[in-house]
Structure 1
Amino acid sequence: MSWSLGLDRLPGVVTVRTYRREWLRPDVTAGLALIGLLIPAGMGYATAAGLPAYTGLYATIVPLLAYAIVGPSRVLVLGPDSALAPLIAAAVLPLAAASGDPQRAVALAGVLAVLVGTVLLVAGFLRLGFVTDLLSKPIRIGYLNGIALVVVIGQLPTLLGIDVDADDVLGRIGTVAGEAVTGGIDLLATAVGVGSLAVMVTCRMLRIRIPGVLVAVVGAIALSALLGLGDDIAMVGALPRGLPAPSFGGVGWNDVVTMLGPAVAIALIAFADTAVLSRTFAARRGADVDGSAEMRAMGV
């Protein structure tokens, strides 16, 4: 009986039991739009974090389902975050590089995710949801702008079709500048990338209701298929069939201890960003969101 009562209190269960038929059409429309946005975004953020692109798909599916059940916000969507990609890369890639096994990065990222979730769960049960109130707006704006610059610089080589071995920001800038001077830029890849950015910016300026990212992705796919660009531009390629089984092979306790610090930092930053959005959306509806409940939901 107590277990049943506990399930009845979950936000997702409450929403389903009180669901209205008139909500279905806009919800389906929003869901389709999000699919178009999250697939390329998730794969792109995974690549920015130094992981295979397909892992971004897995990291998009499960969090959506989990948060839909336990999340206190009725309009917030959780998925891969560009702000966290450089932090994940900084925590995972140095440990993965020591072994030379590309799959080790995936296992390390999985352990890091478990650590972050555990930190958020413990903090949520300790009622520490107030911590975001201690972060001033200038700090958050400065951090987010800094992360934006890191992400942009990190993805410049991919945009220009350049192979870069440097992991630091200055090294990437130097390599890109050198290739630009010597003519090492792939003009076709650059045209597709810049064209996609132009489409997204134009859609936003014209306030087109269809998401610009969706238009750019569909257009780039159609263009690649019609012109046969698969031989000229690096593609994501075929994805592994089915969902992978959880595996933490090759990760030792020393790795876990090393990632504890980054896990706490990622948990704090992820919660700070999400909590602000959750409270903003709730305020628009005249509602309130418990920060600790939000923290526990993110931990799940």
Structure 2
Amino acid sequence: MRGTVPVPPGVRTLRGYQRSWLVKDLVAGVVLTTLLVPQGMAYAELAGLPAITGLYTSVMCLLAYAVAGPSRILVLGPDSSLGPMIAATILPLVASGGDSERAVALASVLALMVGAITILAGVARLGFIADLISKPTMIGYMNGLALTILVGQLPKLFGFSVDADGLIGELDALVRKLADGATVPAAVAVGGCCIVLVLLLQRLVPKVPAVLVMVVLAIGATVAFDLGEHGVKLVGRLPKGLPPFTVPDIRWDDLGPLFVGALGIALVSLADTISNASAFANRSGQEVRGNDEMIAIGAANAAAGLFQGFPVSTSGSRTAVAERAGARTQLTGLVGAGLILLMLVLLPGLFRNLPQPALAAVVITASLSLADLSGAGRLWRQRKAEFWLCMAAFLGVALLGVLPGIAVAVGLSILNVFRRAWWPYSTVLGRVAGLEGYHDVRSHPDAQRLPGLVLLRFDAPLFFANAKSFRDEVLRAVRDAAEPRCVVIAAEPVTDVDTTAADVLEELDEVLRGRGVDLVFAELKDPVRRKVERYGLAQAFGPEAFFPTVESAVEAYRARAGVDW
């Protein structure tokens, strides 16, 4: 039987397109374009690339996602969280003279690599990879990223540039330049006013496109006050024409560093995409298909990489703008891409008088939205251990750099999971008057215990890393009990037993038998019970060592020992 060719999500949407959506999609596309252009140029420069590449990237990723994307309203494009990662990957490989053509070629290959990684991950159904970064470490990472972006944009805001690496180096260079009097007063005035204007408009009138208003006023100020003659750097005339199809040419020894950067960028892009897709799908009643999103993100990155673009991700802010403007389908993105193309062909000089400090203001205000100081404060109040994880991720980005920072964030998330399984919570249980079942004696110090019975709960699967911890907890509980005769393990939280843990259990049983203490298990899940039988423990312990419920195990001990509460 021949398989059917899968229909791209964009084609499926087109088949079911309703005429009533058209006006809303067109209006939303126009509104969205006012945000796409200045942000695209600003984030390109954040990545260390010419401003025009941001527009090429915006066009190609919007076109690709409109065809391959499963979400009807997600908006892709250059992203403030990826910009520093792209710069950290490509700038060390660029010649000291700052060869922009080589930088563009490296960024394009980086986008192709990110596209290949995410497509392969989607085909292999590895959508869960996006969960490798926990919320506390992501908060710390984003706070560190926000600080890094802010410090990196301050020189442009003051009207000069610095040549330094890392947060500490950039801060030191910034202070030295300020001390040497390199500040351009007109640039500071323009940049400061732009930041204040955007923040005020976003807070007071969120439905107004704050970035567009700021860009129009900044261009007007340039013309009115001739800011270019006062030392303010301008964007200048953009190259005219459509995004050029280009096969990037780089050296073989560039591939290793680019691949390392691509892995980090792909991980952040996927985590950002899945979280944004989930948030907007919940509001619109759509279903999130993580693996399909990965393939679509890969297609968008590949398209950008073939037309002098750089890696992209979804944007929560741009998607929110499209949603508020009434977007119904990806036609909104197609309209945005079409308008950018018209501008490049017919009006390439439209933004020639846009001040560079205004672009810095766009990036700085975006970096402020990345920071989540209240989230860090909440972690401090709710769980100190996760707050310190957050701070470690923050310091990893701030002190080691963006790419090592993402490695630190992922590593800390994995270690935190391992730590919880390595040293899980365990406790002795007792009977509490007026409550059914058996409860933690730490929470209920007055809980009753049967003489000679140790009822223990261990809240984790048993595996090589915590098997000895489990053994020590059991032996400690036996040592603290008065004349112990039986240990009942309330095993409902034990979701697995590996071979190392099985050997430790067998040794523990022998030790306890030597002390005249029985080891009994209650509420073992069926899959775990089958593993225990496969290891031969059921035969070694005997059928009397396994009970379906804690109550039946306790009652069997009462009958055998002749004791009561």
TM-score by length of 1: 0.93
Q: Within 5 Å, which residues of 2 pair with 1:108-127?
A: 108-127=106-125
Q: CA RMSD in A?
A: 1.8
Which aligned pairs between 1:12-23 and structure 2 lie closer than 5 A? 12-23=10-21
Question: Partners of 2:223 and 2:10 in 1: how far apart?
Answer: 40
Write the distance in 1 (CA, Å) between the matches of 2:284 and 2:23. Answer: 20
Residue of structure 2 equivalent to 1:239: 238
Separation in structure 2 between the aligned mates of residue 99 and residue 236 of structure 1, nearest angstrom: 20
Amino acid of the structure 1 residue aligned with 2:208: I
Aligned partner of residue 76 in structure 2, secondary structure? coil
Look up the match of 2:253.
254
Residues 208, 273 of structure 1: alpha-carbon distance in 2 compared, 3 angstrom cutoff: closer
Does structure 1 conserve the Cα–Cα contact (< 8 Å) formed by 2:202 and 2:208? no
- Unaligned 5+ segments in structure 1 are none
Consecutive aligned runs of 4 or more in structure 1 exceeding 4 Å deviation: none
> Which residue is equivalent to 1:76?
74
| Aligned position for 2:50 | 52
For 1:145-164, list aligned pairs within 5 A: 145-164=143-162
Structure 2 unaligned runs (5+)?
Answer: 300-565
**SS of match in other structure, 2:280:** helix
Higher RCO by CA contacts (8 Å cutoff, separation 6 or greater):
1
- CA 1:208 to 1:292, structure 2 compared with 1: closer, same or farther past 3 Å? closer
- How many residue pairs get aligned? The number is 296
1:176-198 CA distance string (max 9 Å, x none) = 22333343211101111111111
Amino acid in the other structure paired with 1:156: L
Structure 1 residues 258-267 or 163-172, which shifts more? 163-172
Mapped to 1, the partners of 2:40 and 2:85 lie a distance apart of 16
Distance 2:97 2:105 in 1: 12
Do residues 293 (structure 1) and 292 (structure 2) align? yes
Pair 1:178-2:176 in alignment = yes
Q: Is the 8 A contact 2:44 2:83 kept in 1?
A: yes
The aligned residue for residue 283 of structure 2 is 284
2:193 alignment partner in structure 1: 195
Structure (1/2) with the larger strand percentage: 2
Q: Distance in 1 between matches of 2:151 and 2:121?
A: 34
Q: CA deviation at 1:31?
A: 1.2
**CA-to-aligned-CA distance 1:140-178 (integer Å, 9 cap, x gap):** 111111111111111110011022111322222122223
Separation (CA, whole Å) in 1 of partners of 2:68 and 2:157: 38
Equivalent AA in structure 1 for residue 36 of structure 2: L
**CA positional deviation for 1:98:** 5.5
What is the deviation of 1:286?
Answer: 2.1
Structure 1 residues 84-115: Cα deviation after superposition (integer angstroms, max 9, x where no partner): 11111111011112575331111111111111
Query: Which of the pair is proportionally richer in helix?
Result: 1
Between structure 1 and structure 2, the one with the greater Rg is 2
The whole-number CA distance in structure 2 between the counterparts of 1:106 and 1:247 is 11
Deviates further, 59-68 or 223-232: 223-232
Distance (Å, rounded) in 1 between the aligned partners of 2:209 and 2:58? 18
Q: Which amino acid aligns with 1:34?
A: L
Say whether the 8 Å CA contact 2:69–2:297 is kept in structure 1: yes
Separation of aligned partners in 2, 1:37 and 1:296: 26
Classify 1:6/1:228 alpha carbon distance in 2 versus 1 (closer, same or farther; 3 Å): farther
**Letter of the structure 2 residue corresponding to residue 102 of structure 1:** S
Inter-partner Cα distance in structure 2 for 1:21 and 1:191: 48
Which digits, 9 at most, give the CA deviation of each residue in 1:235-265, with x for residues without a partner? 111111222231423x122111221111111
- Listed one character per residue, the Cα deviations across residues 194-246 of structure 1 (whole Å, up to 9, x for unaligned) are 11111111112212421211111111112212222233311111111222231
The answer on whether the counterparts of 2:40 and 2:58 sit within 8 Å (CA) in structure 1 is yes
SS of the equivalent of 2:162 reads coil
